Amino acid sequence: MYGALWRVLPGPWWVRVLLLVILAAAVVYALFFWVFPAVAPFFAPGEESTVG
């Protein structure tokens, strides 16, 4: 998989590394700001409890 991704990216090796870093940062950003908040209520349903 990584070899195929490396061959698909254009340019010399340093441009490919830069593109991979940018793509990885975009994936992490999307996970933290869209995916994780969307699924968080399903994993912690008892978080909103009160102690009386």
User: What is the SS3 assignment for 1?
Assistant: coil
Contact 16, 6 (CB under 8 A): yes
Please state the pTM of the whole predicted model. 0.70
Using a 10 angstrom Cβ sphere, with 0-12 exposed, 13-18 middle and 19 or more buried, the burial of residue 29 is: exposed
Tally of residues, the chain: 52
Helix (H) or strand (E) run with residue 8 in it:
helix 2-8
Compute the average pLDDT of residues 9-18.
94
pLDDT exceeds cutoff 70 at 46: no
